[in-house]
């Protein structure tokens, strides 16, 4: 990472005249179009975010309630200086190889006069958004420790995000039993605040303002803090930290920092998708040698379980047998896949699998030879990916994780899928007196435990695919073995619920995927599932299933369907060809909930891939190919919806064509209802000029 430091005296002078009073401290983005204004309003601290002179975030307060100390007011503000800086770093894997973000930073000392407590506010303003966080240095002002081991306890964070008009929001509810696994809804803020059953919503939260700007609220570097949800208010939203079982929000020992509160701002939805602010606000990698971290596609004994062809528990239809896993390993080896995810290989599945103590994560079932499967996979040049569901038995998992990861390392298994399904709303925690309480999966206790697993896995050279996770806040920069996660409604809901609906995958690129990546599990060819689930279906065309490999980013991508549904299917050619690691990515069309088109260049190569998806409506999209190398010609291998394709009536109608194209070509994509298009652009070899 390179840094360019410069005292931004010019910016201070330039905006001094624009200040509304001597107690307003503006911080402008490098292009000067976005301004964060910090205000001292007689002891009450607030901020406003302005874009091209228009208020994006209306005046909103900041402050805290600590145990025994209200800190909503009584502050003095002392700016500590301003500078410009550039974060420039290379990702070991990702949507692009390099991230370069320039910002203006101001740090301000906030002193609470009544208590004498000091707090630093760090503000970074980028061209496409704002990040700010709170820092508490070591100090004696906190007085006696309210809890053993803590310097202070946060009862409430008072940060607000107010909006000047009745913006439209895309949201999912917080504090509901299915964690993040809900279909997104779109409502005006006035309608959302009228829904009394909605206590708060999760982030990333995406909005379209009445001025036509697009805004997303999220957080970055969530490390030792409660996850931030957003409670609707008359003005917009206020921070609602997920509490501990005792009702407090955060237990802290100085020096201590909060996560960054992130506000992305764009003139189009595409600008939100292309922002890298969340990554830039995380710390550099703690893993020096990342050569063992290998993105790739994987097969799985997984979809067969969800469609009820096979079962997790042992018996006649048990999926995770030695013989069946070897068959899947052969399929993976034949198609250059990095591994085979296996669910149901270990003891504990069956009735009561959510009871404490049923899993030990190392003992295979009687019909599963773990050592032989691992040996066979190594022989074939691939790996088994073990599923480590803990059923909410988190305390026991934490006690065993070193032993489990050591066992997997010895078997040369370098990736696992973790699971945190639990009974009801909460994870059981045992207090020192032996009593048990339930903690939210997104409170500080679980945030710490999710991070512990990532860090311990890194010690053993193991990559993580987390299900029922904490949301992604960019920690993959710091811990790049944290590869991918669920954290939204994935493909499995199409197998046993009312399904996700055709618009779901046209919404999540602008919401959930702003935290990115996601293990959505695309690639189902038998979208009707008539043999096993005649009352369920996947609400897409097959061409859209192919496009999802490009539109939904994950460094570990599932080749989801049964191997027999790929055999002899020409559409499988795109899945075989598409990479999972990218040099650069460019959004080409974007309308939240309607359509999304993105092009990505393979890392270390010259080929490009395009994915385009639509909702329940057919669409004609015009896509210039000016992202291609202007000095090359390409063959475009197009996997499109057929003339009769429709997600309800003809989902398997796929038209595969090829054409010669170059950077001056303009494509006209014809997307069927619930459909999509996937394209591979392969450069035509240059002729030897000497011949």
Query: Using CA atoms, how far apart are residues 118 and 137, in angstroms rounded to an integer?
Result: 7
Phi, psi values for residue 469, rounded to 5°: -95, 180
What is the layout of strands, in order, in the sheet containing 44-51?
24-28, 34-41, 44-51, 54-62, 160-162, 236-241, 228-232
- Which token pair is 634? 């390409």
- Give the chain's largest Cα–Cα span: 84
Report CA 395 to chain centroid distance, whole Å: 25
- Which token pair is 495? 């197998």
Query: Using CA atoms, how far apart are residues 148 and 416, in angstroms rounded to an integer?
Result: 36
Contact yes or no for 333/381 (Cβ under 8 A): yes
Contact yes or no for 635/682 (Cβ under 8 A): yes
Contact yes or no for 453/401 (Cβ under 8 A): yes
Determine whether 492 is an active site residue.
Answer: yes
Burial 453-491 (b: 16+ CB within 10 A, else e): bbebbbebbbbbbbbbbbbbbbbbbbbbbbbbbbbbbbb
Query: Using CA atoms, how far apart are residues 505 and 183, in angstroms rounded to an integer?
Result: 10
Contact yes or no for 404/452 (Cβ under 8 A): no
Q: Which of 452, 361, 455, 449 is nearest to 413 (CA)?
A: 361
* Unique residue bearing structure tokens 């859209």: 544
Per-residue H/E/C for 24-61:
EEEEECCCCCEEEEEEEECCEEEEEEEECCEEEEEEEE
Burial of 7 (0-12, 13-18, 19+ CB in 10 A): exposed
Phi, psi values for residue 370, rounded to 5°: -60, -45
Contact yes or no for 225/259 (Cβ under 8 A): yes
Query: Using CA atoms, how far apart are residues 278 and 266, in angstroms rounded to an integer?
Result: 15
Q: Which of 309, 307, 318, 319 is nearest to 535 (CA)?
A: 307
- Ramachandran area for residue 276 (φ above 0: left; ψ -120 to 50: alpha; else beta): alpha
Which residue is catalytic, options 492, 530, 602, 670?
Answer: 492
Q: Which of 230, 179, 240 is nearest to 206 (CA)?
A: 230
Helix (H) or strand (E) holding 536: none
Contact yes or no for 102/31 (Cβ under 8 A): no
- Ramachandran area for residue 477 (φ above 0: left; ψ -120 to 50: alpha; else beta): alpha
Q: Which of 516, 396, 408 is nearest to 449 (CA)?
A: 396
Report, as residue numbers or ranges, the catalytic residues.
Answer: 492
């Amino acid at each position: 990472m390179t840094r360019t430091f410069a005292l931004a005296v010019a910016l201070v002078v330039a905006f001094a005249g624009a200040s509304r009073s001597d107690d307003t401290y503006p911080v402008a983005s490098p292009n000067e179009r976005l301004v964060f204004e910090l205000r001292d309003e007689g002891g009450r601290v607030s901020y406003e975010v302005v874009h091209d002179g228009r208020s994006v975030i209306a005046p909103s307060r900041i402050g805290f309630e600590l145990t025994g100390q209200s800190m909503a007011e009584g502050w003095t503000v002392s700016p500590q200086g301003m500078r410009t800086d550039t974060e420039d770093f290379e990702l070991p894997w990702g949507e692009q190889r390099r991230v370069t973000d320039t910002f203006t930073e101001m740090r301000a000392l906030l002193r609470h006069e009544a208590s004498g407590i000091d707090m630093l506010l760090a503000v970074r303003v980028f061209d496409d958004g704002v990040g700010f966080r709170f820092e508490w240095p070591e100090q004696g002002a906190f007085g006696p420790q309210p809890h053993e081991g803590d310097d202070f306890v946060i009862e409430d964070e008072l940060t607000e995000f107010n909006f000047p008009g009745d913006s439209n929001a895309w949201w999912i509810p917080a504090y509901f039993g299915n964690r993040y696994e809900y279909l997104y809804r779109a409502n005006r803020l006035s309608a959302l605040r009228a829904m009394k059953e909605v206590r708060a919503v999760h982030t990333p939260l995406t909005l379209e303002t009445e001025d036509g700007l697009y805004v997303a609220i999220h957080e970055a570097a969530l490390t030792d803090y409660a996850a931030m949800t957003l409670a609707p208010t008359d003005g917009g939203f206020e921070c609602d930290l997920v509490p501990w079982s005792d009702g407090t929000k955060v237990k802290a020992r100085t020096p201590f920092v909060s996560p960054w509160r992130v506000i992305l701002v764009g003139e189009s939805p595409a600008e939100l998708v292309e922002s890298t602010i969340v990554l830039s606000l995380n710390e550099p990698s703690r893993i020096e040698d990342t050569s063992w971290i290998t993105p790739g596609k994987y097969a799985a004994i997984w979809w067969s379980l969800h469609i009820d062809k096979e079962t997790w528990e042992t018996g006649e239809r048990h999926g995770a047998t030695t013989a069946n896993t070897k068959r899947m390993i052969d399929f993976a080896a034949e198609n250059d896949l990095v591994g085979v995810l296996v669910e149901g290989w270990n003891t504990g599945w069956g009735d009561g699998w959510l009871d404490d103590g049923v899993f030990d994560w190392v003992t295979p079932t009687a019909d599963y030879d773990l050592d032989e499967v691992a040996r066979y996979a190594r022989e074939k040049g691939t790996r088994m990916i073990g599923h480590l569901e803990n059923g909410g038995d988190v305390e026991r998992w934490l006690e065993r994780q070193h032993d489990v990861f050591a066992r997997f390392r010895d078997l040369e298994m370098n990736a696992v899928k973790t699971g945190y399904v639990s009974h009801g709303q909460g994870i059981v925690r045992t207090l020192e007196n032996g009593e048990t309480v339930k903690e939210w999966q997104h409170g500080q206790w679980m945030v710490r435990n999710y991070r512990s697993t990532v860090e311990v896995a890194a010690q053993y050279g193991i990559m993580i695919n987390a299900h029922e996770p904490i949301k992604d806040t960019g920690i993959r920069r710091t811990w790049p073995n944290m590869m991918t996660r669920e954290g939204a409604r994935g493909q499995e809901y199409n197998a046993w619920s009312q399904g996700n609906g055709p618009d779901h995958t046209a919404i999540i690129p602008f919401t959930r995927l702003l935290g990115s990546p996601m293990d959505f599990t695309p690639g189902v060819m038998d979208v009707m599932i008539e043999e096993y689930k005649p009352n369920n279906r996947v609400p897409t065309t097959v061409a859209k299933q192919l496009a999802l490999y490009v539109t939904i980013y994950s460094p570990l991508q599932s080749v989801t369907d049964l191997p027999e549904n790929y055999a002899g299917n020409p559409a499988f050619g795109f899945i075989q060809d598409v990479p999972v690691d990218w040099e650069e990515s460019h959004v080409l069309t974007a309308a939240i909930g309607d359509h999304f088109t993105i092009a990505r260049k393979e890392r270390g190569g010259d080929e490009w891939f395009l994915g385009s998806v639509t909702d329940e409506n057919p669409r004609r999209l015009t896509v210039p190919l000016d992202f291609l190398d202007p000095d090359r010609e390409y063959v475009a291998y197009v996997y499109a919806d057929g003339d009769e394709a429709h997600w309800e009536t003809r989902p398997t109608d796929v038209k595969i064509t090829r054409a010669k194209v170059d950077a001056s070509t303009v494509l006209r994509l014809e997307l069927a209802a619930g459909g999509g298009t996937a394209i591979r652009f392969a450069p035509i070899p240059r002729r030897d000029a000497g011949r």
